[in-house]
Homo-oligomer: A and B are copies of this chain.
Amino acid sequence: MVLERKLVMDANDAYCPVRATLALLGQKWVPHIVHELMNGKLRFNELAVGVGGCNSRTLRDRLKNLEELEVVSRTIIAVMPPWVEYELTPKGRQLGEALVRLEQWGESYMHEPCI
């Protein structure tokens, strides 16, 4: 299951694309992953460092989901040793651009540390 059913279905138990989007962003680390990939393609380890603090298994799961949703593409570079690169698809890039508005909001309003 890519997204959790109760986060995605509306009051009439119908699939809602807006709720699906809000559910996707409500997955821990997903906004961070999209944000990091806005700078271009990254190898798994580079992405892990950029995202920071997410364990490898969770990161791998999230990337798999984002691949299934066609937000991220995964390419195997067939050299020796081979490596894997992750990149936003055009759809993923548009999601990242929508996130920028939120990042601007953060720049304006989240300067007071809240941890």
Interface residues of A (CB under 8 A from B): 1-11, 15, 17-32, 35, 49, 52-53, 68-69, 91, 94-95, 97-99, 101-111, 113-115
User: Contact at B20–A110, with CB atoms within 8 Å?
Assistant: yes
Chain B residues with CB under 8 Å of A101's CB are: 97-98, 101
> Which residue on chain B has the smallest CB distance to residue A102?
B98
User: Contact at B53–A6, with CB atoms within 8 Å?
Assistant: yes
Q: How far is the CB of A79 from chain B (nearest CB, A)?
A: 28
User: Contact at A17–B98, with CB atoms within 8 Å?
Assistant: no
Chain B residues with CB under 8 Å of A29's CB are: 7, 26
The 7 closest A-B pairs by CB, nearest first: A21-B106, A6-B53, A22-B31, A17-B110, A98-B101, A20-B110, A15-B113
> Which residue on chain B has the smallest CB distance to residue A31?
B22
User: Contact at B102–A21, with CB atoms within 8 Å?
Assistant: yes
CA distance A105 to B29 in the complex (A): 19
